[in-house]
């Protein structure tokens, strides 16, 4: 069975082809260069770019899987959450193809796609596990009991972890997206140079806005309204200390969730799962406690359509499908 996956929820236009649960092709076209100069994603520009790129990207995914559209048996598409105009492009294309080819169509929650991305490289992972979903739009911990059974243990009360990275990078005068840039700088800095706050210590909820303000206040000490940021600001130390605060919080809460639920497997998902320090510290903590940690390869951490195709395929195999009346939704809990 061949599944075509489509993802257009934010600033990546992506299409992928699976044969059963195996990825044959996964094409991602990033719009980062377009949004960079605005310091964040401009929704209207994102929609227009998806419109321009989606069909060529689908063609490329089919060609690289060496199949044609008529071979496809199922279309899976992200329908929530995301930028409404961006989602609309993917959902409309998916519906049109499903209707024209007379094949089933299934809408996928983007967050579920991120969690299930781990199953691409670890098909035998097995349930239950704890999922730490950390991206530009989400930061949450789930007790995953099975396909479609995601008990949320906690989530961010303000910024998502990736959003905090992007905002902190912006206030330090760095480019969008800030995550990879700060990650790189952090590796050369001192994580103990600035004692930034860790946010909520109790429970499973997260809060990153206090941390962001603390970084802003620290940077302000080195800011001159005419000359900008003074060279005395130790940017690598700030990046490293900020990263230490984020990663400490994420690792502590993920480990707490695993031990309190009696689950010995942790899956990490979303763009921030690409973070080098998060990967390292989670692996170290997990091996100390005899837990398994599942880290998707970088390519499956960031937005892609293979994870969407897989989520759609797994639900379809259980007899589920969506009606062509399904409309995109900007927000929706998992
Ligand atoms: O999952 P994703 O591609 O899109 C959303 O669904 O949000 O995640 C993008 C987010 C951005 O905020 C980006 O700054 C962050 O992931 N990110 C990182 C790293 N790579 C990407 N954050 C920290 N360290 C990284 N290496
Ligand atoms: Zn995402």
Reported as a single tens digit per residue, the pLDDT across 146-189 is 999 999 999 999 999 999 999 999 999 999 899 999 999 999 99
Query: Per the omega criterion (within 30 degrees of 0), is the bond before 81 cis?
Result: yes
Nearest alpha carbon, ligand 1 atom 8: 271
Q: Which of the listed residues 9, 179, 295 should we mutate to test ligand 1's pocket, taking the one with most ligand atoms within 8 A of CB?
A: 179
Ligand number with the minimum distance to the CA of 134:
1
Place of tokens 């690598």: 236
pLDDT at 95: 98
In three-state secondary structure terms, 111 is: helix
Q: Quick count: other Cβ atoms within 10 Å of Cβ 217?
A: 9
CB atoms within 10 A of CB 297: 11
The protein residue whose alpha carbon is closest to atom 13 in ligand 1 is 179
Please tell me the distance from the alpha carbon of residue 246 to that of residue 185, in angstroms, as a whole number: 15
pLDDT tens sequence across 69-116? 999 999 999 999 999 999 999 999 999 999 999 999 999 999 999 999
Q: For position 270, what pLDDT does the model report?
A: 95
Measured distance CA(104)–CA(153) in Å, rounded:
33
DSSP assignment of 228-284: EE-TTS-HHHHHHHHHHHHHHHHHHHHHHHHHHHT--EEEEESGGGG-HHHHHHHHH
Nearest CA to ligand 1 atom 5: 136
- Give dist(CA 281, CA 14) in Å, integer: 30
Specify the pTM: 0.95
SS3 call for 217: helix
**What local confidence, expressed as pLDDT, does residue 114 receive?**
96
Torsion (CA) 59, 60, 62, 64 in degrees, nearest 10: 160
What is the atom index within ligand 1 of the atom nearest the CA of 301? 1
Q: Which residues contact 302 (CB under 8 A, 6 or more apart)?
A: 12, 28, 271, 274
- pLDDT for the residue 128: 98
pLDDT of residue 313: 98
What pLDDT, on a 0 to 100 scale, did the predictor assign at position 229?
85
Q: Cα of 160 to ligand 2 centre, how many Å? A: 11
Cβ(275) – ligand 1 distance below 6 Å: yes
Closest ligand to the CA of 301: 1
Low-confidence residues in the chain, pLDDT < 70 = none
The predicted structure's pLDDT at residue 330: 97
CA 114 to ligand 2 centroid distance, Å: 7
234: its two tokens: 């130790």
């Amino acid at each position: 069975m061949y599944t075509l996956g489509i993802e257009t929820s934010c600033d990546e236009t992506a299409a992928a082809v699976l044969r059963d649960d195996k990825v044959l092709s996964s094409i991602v076209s990033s719009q980062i260069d377009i949004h960079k100069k605005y310091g964040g994603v401009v929704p209207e520009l994102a929609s227009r770019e998806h419109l321009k790129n989606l069909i060529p990207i689908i063609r490329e995914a089919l060609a690289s899987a060496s199949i044609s559209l008529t071979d496809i048996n199922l279309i899976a598409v992200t329908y929530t959450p995301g930028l409404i105009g961006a989602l609309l492009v993917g959902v409309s294309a998916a519906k049109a193809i499903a209707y024209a080819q007379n094949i089933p169509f299934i809408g996928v929650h983007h967050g579920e796609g991120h969690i299930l991305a781990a199953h691409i490289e670890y098909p035998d992972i097995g349930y239950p596990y704890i999922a730490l979903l950390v991206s530009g739009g989400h930061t949450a911990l789930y007790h995953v009991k099975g396909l479609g059974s995601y008990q949320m243990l906690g989530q961010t009360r303000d910024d998502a972890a990736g959003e905090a990275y992007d905002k902190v990078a912006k206030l330090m005068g760095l480019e969008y997206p800030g995550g990879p840039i700060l990650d790189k700088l952090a590796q050369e800095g001192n994580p103990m140079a600035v004692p930034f706050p860790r946010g909520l210590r109790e429970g499973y909820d997260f809060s990153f806005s206090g941390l962001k303000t603390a970084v802003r206040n620290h940077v302000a000490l080195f800011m001159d309204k005419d000359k900008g940021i003074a060279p005395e600001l130790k940017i690598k130390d700030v990046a490293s200390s900020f990263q230490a605060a984020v990663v400490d919080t994420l690792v502590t809460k993920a480990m707490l969730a695993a031990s309190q639920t009696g689950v010995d497997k942790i899956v990490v998902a979303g763009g921030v799962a690409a973070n080098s320090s998060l990967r390292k510290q989670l692996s170290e903590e997990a091996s100390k406690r005899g837990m398994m940690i599942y880290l998707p390869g970088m390519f499956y951490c960031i937005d892609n359509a293979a994870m969407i195709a897989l989520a759609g395929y797994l639900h379809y195999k259980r007899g589920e499908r969506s009606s062509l009346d399904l409309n995109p939704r900007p927000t929706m809990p998992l």
